[in-house]
Structure 1
Amino acid sequence: MTGAPVPVVIPRYSALLAVLLIGLSVRLIRMRMKQRDSMGDSHFGSLRSAIRAKGKLAQ
């Protein structure tokens, strides 16, 4: 079996699957961060709401 041609199809499919997996992971992380921000559980979400409240009081 020396000198047998290596199929190029398998590495292409594995690379495509890896890119799809990374893309889906990034979308999931962004979606969860957006949900957390809208709920106000994150530090920056509460900071944003505090700044908004302070701005309304100053007006």
Structure 2
Amino acid sequence: MSGAVLSTWAFVAVAGLIAALAFALAQVTAGAGMILVALGATAWTAYVVRRGAMLRARHD
């Protein structure tokens, strides 16, 4: 195992999805896209950290 929680493509795909959704939301309501980016990136980071901790706990 390489130690990675997910593949690089998963991170690229989620970043693209967050950016696309934020852009679309910003077209409707000014400033809302940045809120979505902040919340989406925080939620994604929390998920990856939790998943990594669970995988390490299972293999240690």
TM-score relative to the length of structure 2: 0.50
Give the drift of 1:20. 0.1
1:28 CA displacement: 0.4
* Partner residue, 2:34: 11
RMSD, matched Cα? 1.4
Higher RCO (C-alpha under 8 Å, 6+ residues apart) = 2
**How many Å separate the matches in 2 of 1:10 and 1:22?**
18
* Runs of 4+ displaced beyond 6 Å: none
What is the alpha-carbon distance in structure 2 between the residues aligned to residue 16 and residue 25 of structure 1? 14
2: CA distance, partners of 1:22 / 1:14: 12
* 1:26 matched to 2:49: yes
- Once residues 13 and 21 of structure 1 are traced to their aligned partners in structure 2, the CA distance between those partners, rounded to angstroms, is 12
Structure 1 residue 17, shift from structure 2 partner:
0.2
Matched length: 32
Gaps of 5+ in 1: 1-5, 38-59
Q: How does 1:44-55 map to 2 (within 5 A)?
A: none
User: What is the percent sequence identity of the aligned residues?
Assistant: 22
Larger Rg: 1
